[in-house]
Amino acid sequence: MANIFGTTGTNGVNGVAGTNAPNGGVNGTSGTAGTSATSGQSLTYLMDQAGWDPTLQLFGGGGGYGSTGGGGGSGNYTTVYSYNGPGYLVATNVAVSDAGHGGAAGKGGNGGHASLTASNLIALDSQHLQSTGGNGTGGYTGGTGGGTYNGYYNNNPYANGYYVGPTLYYYGFNHYQAGGTGGNGGAGSAGGTGGNGTTTADALTFMGYYTTVRSYGGTGSYGGNGGGGGSGAHGGDGGIGGAGGNGGKATVNVTNSLGNFYGYTTLQAVGAAGGAGGYGGNASTGTTDNYNYTAPGVYTYSQTFDHGTGGIGGKGGNGGAAVINYTGNTLTGDQTSETLYFYITIASGLRGVGGLGGYNGGTTTRVSSGLDGVTGATDLTFSGNTFDGGAGNDTFSFTIIHTSADQSSFGSLGSIVVNLLNGTFVFGGNSSALLSVENVTIDVLERYYNAASVLVDATPGVSLTGSHSNNNLTTATGNDSLWGLAGNDSLNGGNGADSMNGGAGDDTFSVDNIGDVASETASGVDTGGYDLVNSTVTFTLGDFIEALTLGGNVNMDGTGNALDNVINGNSYINVLSGLGGRDRIFGGYGNDTLNGGDGNDYLDGGNDLDQMAGGLGDDTYLVNQVGDIAIEAAGEGKDTVLSSISYSLVGQVIENLTLTGYTGINGTGNGVGNVIIGNAYNNVLIGGAGADTMIGGNGNDTYGVDVAGDVVSEAPAYGTDTVEASITYTLSANLENLILTGLANINGTGNAGNNVITGNAGTNALAGGAGNDTYYIQNTTDTISEATGNGTDIIYSSVTYTVFGAVETLALTGVDNINATGNSLVNILIGNDGDNVLNGKSGADTMTGGLGSDTFLFQTSSGADRITDFNAGQNDWININAYSGGVVNGGGVTITDAGGGNTLITMGANSITVLGVAYNDAGLLSHIIW
């Protein structure tokens, strides 16, 4: 890396102050002018192959410092006194002198130029070339004008009287003499001019990843301030402000060179700012105060004015121009997929501001300011170049930052028009070739200085046209036009109101301005494909675009078109509308409003509390929050809610409800015929009014049935399911349990499976059908129908009950004193915790009394029965009166040891086996009712 610096110019020599006047009548002399500084050294360098350096920077020398002017000498006065009669003294021979003028300041030195040229060489690695003009140095202040007296009391020291003896008192009279003229301030010196920078690369071969060619003009320096005028009866004038130095020009030339279509190429030309003009010097106030004594202590007074004039402000320096010439160059790709980043910065120097004028003497009014300089011009030539990506999926990323003088001259660089189909890159009316490139990013930032020297963005439009391949077309600022043509294209206009047309293929548009237009038409005809708009602003889809996704970090809205749209909200509050078509609308986070419009729409509000209206068509709503609202009017189609929370259709004109998610939740219908579908977990499904169809899915589900037309459907092995019916009901296949609700006299019928059927408080006729069925009854008038061979069945009763049909087991529940009576089958009778009477009737019955004082009652022909838990301590009784006739051991009743600690009571052909009680147990014998 080589840095070469020019030498700095020599400084100027300050002027010498003028001499003061020795006495009245002799004027002060003027200060001498300061000398000007010399310019910095200019450099010219030619780099050839032998002297190749990957980084070479050339810097012109800075100018020397200017000098100040010498100050003017001051004026003076002389008074000679003489007597005029006894006791009187008057001044005579009064003389005054003028002050000297200030000297002019010496000019600041100019910056040296820098000129770097590289020609006919191969840059074996990344190349950095830069030239920078030297900075001019500031002007200095002119010398201050010398001061003199405004006016003089030309009197003796005893003008008001003095004693010469014990009684003698002398009086004198004042005489006033006008003062001299103050000196004028010296002129401020001009600021030094910035040196020019010029960098040229001609017929080079750039082999490296980075190529940088830069040039900077040297800064023009400020002008010196004018010197102030000196004081006096006649005020001195202010000096003129010095002019600001002009900014240096920057020039970059890259011509007839070769390079690679990858990596980074940077061109930069920055003209320097002009220096500000110096302030004009302030003038002095010229004033004469006149006093005339007519007697001791008695005088008259008057004033006269003669003010100086302020100095005019110095002119501002001109800004330096910026020039780039990139012509006749070829960059060629040699890898599969490559990206070339091409950066241009061209900026002219800002004008220097004129210096303020100095104040006129005795006022607050300034004289004229100096004129502003002129902002530098820009000139960019970009033509005759070839950019060839070669094989693969290649990207050309082009960025230009252009800072121009003002709006009137802005836009001289012209527009950018890219056409990949034709292989052209037109910039400012000049054409280059852009070949075998699939993706283009154009970032143009153009700015100008307004009247207040503030940069204002005013980027012109860019036109990009793709090829028939899959293109990525991107611009950054301005109102741009992008055309994708055939292929699956990505179009991003960046800032500005852009016009984008995807053409044929599946295209993606990026929108960030409400003025953006995304189109998929050619002369009003659909160009085909499935197209997506990604927008960070409120947006409505144009014709023939299918999808819209909102991004960004603010609330916004999205609207579809007549097609089948997919619309996605962002994480904030959105209003999403599908209009016509079969739309799929997703709200995301935020409390969103979704409108499906016409067509069979799918509306998913996402997280938070959403309001969804499907409109006409058979719509589907996805609900996942308690506050979600689905709105449908009558006659707008057959609609479905998909809910991952417990949900009720009550109050809504919606027909179907499907439960989703991974927890047990519930679903409730409304007054229309609903289809309610559960998820894979335990659900409670209630149809409500209307003939409903309820499908439980996996899990142990519960169905609420209240209309004769209700249908419950379960697949095999999908859990243990329960129907709660307020009407007479028959279980369909794969349902296990039936519970009758309410107070009405209704009936319940099972299916071929093992059912649990529970009656209500009314009179029920219950029939289990095939399978091992279980009945729960709470009314003594309930009847149970079980055919022989239809399984082993059990009744749980909370009231006194007698077994009907082919039911084998009766168990009493609760704590009430109730009774159980069997039938002719082999029964199992089980008591509750109260005092029960258990009567098996005929058949080999087994009876268990449970807690309480139970009575085991045996009728004639009772068969071979068993008692499992006789307990005399609980006051249990065995009633065999039907056999003994009230006589102990009467009727041929015998009590014997059955072995194993059991007792056998024989009553002819009938018997009772008392388990766990010995035949000679006193308690047993004392608790037999004979």
Residues 294-316 pLDDT 10s: 555 556 666 666 788 888 989 99
Which residues lie closer than 8 Å to 852 by C-beta, 6 or more apart? 817, 831, 832, 833, 834, 835, 836, 874
195 token code pair: 């040196």
Whether the per-residue pLDDT at 597 is higher than 50: the answer is yes
In a domain, 653, yes or no: no
Is residue 254 within 8 Å of 206, Cβ to Cβ? Answer: no
pLDDT over 90 at 550, yes or no: yes
Average pLDDT on 530-552 reads 95
Q: Is the pLDDT of residue 875 over 90?
A: yes
Structure confidence at residue 159 as a pLDDT band (50, 70, 90): very low
pLDDT for 613 equals 95
Residue 895 is assigned to a structural domain of this protein: yes
pLDDT confidence of residue 629: 94
- Which residue range is the domain that position 572 belongs to? 557-636
Cβ 391 vs Cβ 437: under 8 Å: no
- Residue 656 class from Cβ within 10 Å (0-12 exposed, 13-18 middle, 19+ buried)? buried
What pLDDT is attached to residue 443? 85
Task: Report the pLDDT value the prediction gives residue 174, as an integer from 0 to 100.
Answer: 42
As a whole number of angstroms, the distance between CA 382 and CA 418 comes to: 14
Domain boundary among 607, 636, 665: 636
The mean pLDDT of 427-442, rounded to a whole number, is 90
Residue 880 lies in a domain: yes
* Residues whose CB falls within 8 Å of the CB of residue 917, separated by 6 or more in sequence, listed in order: 870, 901, 902, 903, 923, 924
Does residue 343 lie in a domain region? yes
Residue 291's pLDDT is what?
Answer: 56
Residue 25, pLDDT > 80, answer no
Q: In angstroms, how far apart are the furthest CA atoms of the chain? A: 190
Task: Give how far the C-alpha of residue 333 lies from the chain's centroid of Cα atoms, to the nearest Å.
Answer: 37
pLDDT band at 176 (very low <50, low <70, confident <90, very high): very low
Sign of the torsion angle spanned by Cα atoms 631, 637, 638, 640: negative
Question: Cα 678–681–682 angle (5° rounding)?
Answer: 85
DSSP string, 698-721: SS--EEEE-STT-EEE--TTS---
pLDDT-derived band of residue 767, with 50, 70 and 90 as boundaries? very high
Q: Is residue 677 part of a domain?
A: no
d(CA 531, CA 484): 12
**The pair of three-digit structure tokens given for residue 33, joined into one six-digit string:** 């002018």
Percent of the chain with pLDDT over 70: 89
Of the pLDDT bands very low, low, confident and very high (cuts 50, 70, 90), residue 20 is: confident
Mean pLDDT, rounded, of the chain? 88
Residue 179 has pLDDT above 80, yes or no: no
Q: What is the model's pLDDT at position 178?
A: 56
Please check whether residue 319 is in contact with residue 273, taking contact to mean a CB–CB distance below 8 angstroms: yes
Q: Residue 791 corresponds to which tokens in the numbers above? A: 């399984």
How do residues 334-374 score in pLDDT, each as one tens digit?
878 899 999 999 999 888 899 999 898 888 889 989 998 88
Number of alpha carbons in the 13 Å side-chain half-sphere of residue 262: 14
In whole angstroms, give the CA distance from residue 66 to residue 34.
8
623-666 pLDDT tens trace: 999 999 999 999 999 999 999 999 999 989 999 999 999 999 99
* pTM summary value: 0.73
Residue 882 per-residue DSSP state: H
Confidence of residue 483 (pLDDT cuts 50, 70, 90): confident
Last residue of a domain, one of 613, 636, 659: 636
Q: Are strands 521-522 and 525-526 parallel, antiparallel or unpaired?
A: antiparallel
DSSP 809-874: EEEE-SSS---EE--SS--EEE--SS--EEE--SSS-EEE--SS--EEE--TT--EEEES---GGG
**Residue 484 — left, alpha, or beta (φ > 0 → left; ψ -120 to 50 → alpha)?**
alpha
Q: Buried b / exposed e across 178-206, counting CB within 10 Å, b at 16+?
A: bbbbbbbbbbbbbbbbbbbbbbbbeebeb
The pLDDT of residue 106 is above 90: no
At 164 the pLDDT is: 40
Label residue 155 by pLDDT band (50, 70, 90). very low
> By percentage, how much of the chain surpasses pLDDT 90?
62
Q: Nearest CA to 2 among 39, 45, 49, 62?
A: 45
> Which two tokens mark 42?
């200019």
- For the segment 577-593, the average pLDDT, to the nearest whole number, is 94
Indicate if the pLDDT at residue 406 is higher than 50.
Answer: yes
Residue 197: pLDDT band by 50, 70, 90 thresholds? very high
Phi, psi of 501 (to 5 degrees): -125, 120
pLDDT band at 289 (very low <50, low <70, confident <90, very high): low
The number of folded domains in the chain is: 3
Q: Is residue 631 in some structural domain?
A: yes
The secondary structure of residue 627, as a DSSP letter, is: T
Domain presence at residue 768: no
Q: Environment class of residue 920 by beta-carbon count within 10 Å: exposed (0-12), middle (13-18) or buried (19+)? A: exposed
pLDDT band at 184 (very low <50, low <70, confident <90, very high): confident
Residue-level length of the chain = 930
| pLDDT score at 846 | 98
Centre a 10 Å sphere on the Cβ of residue 85 and count the other Cβ atoms it contains. 7
Looking at residue 450, what is its pLDDT?
62
Count of beta carbons in the 10 Å neighbourhood of residue 334: 11
Tokens of 355: 């210096």
Ranking 243-252, 336-345, 515-524, 736-745 by mean pLDDT, the lowest is 515-524
User: 228 to each of 17, 238, 315, 594, how far by Cα in Å?
Assistant: 14, 5, 18, 76
Which positions ≥6 away from 783 have C-beta within 8 Å?
A: 764, 765, 766, 804
Q: Is the pLDDT of residue 50 over 50?
A: yes
Q: Which of 365, 392, 419 is the last residue of a domain?
A: 392
